[in-house]
Amino acid sequence: MAEFFINNGGTILISLILVLVVGFIVRKMIRDRKAGKGGCGCGCSTCSMGCRGKGK
């Protein structure tokens, strides 16, 4: 078992880093969505498509 981790340590480390980065990105997107921010970086109230997220 230890040999597996030694032989694949780099791959495991890079995979864990990528999973963490993607997790932080998803977390930020969820927080922004709950705060009413759009996906484009501006508020939905000033967006020409602002009604999309309001159920209209």
- Residue 32 is predicted with a pLDDT of 85
> How much is the pLDDT for 25?
96
Does this model's pTM top 0.85? My answer is: no
How much is the CA Rg of the chain, to the nearest whole Å? 19
Contacts 24+ apart (CB under 8 A), 35-41: none
Give the pLDDT confidence score for residue 56 in this predicted structure. Answer: 41
Q: What are the tens digits of pLDDT across the range 1-56? A: 899 999 999 999 999 999 999 999 999 999 988 887 766 656 566 666 655 555 44
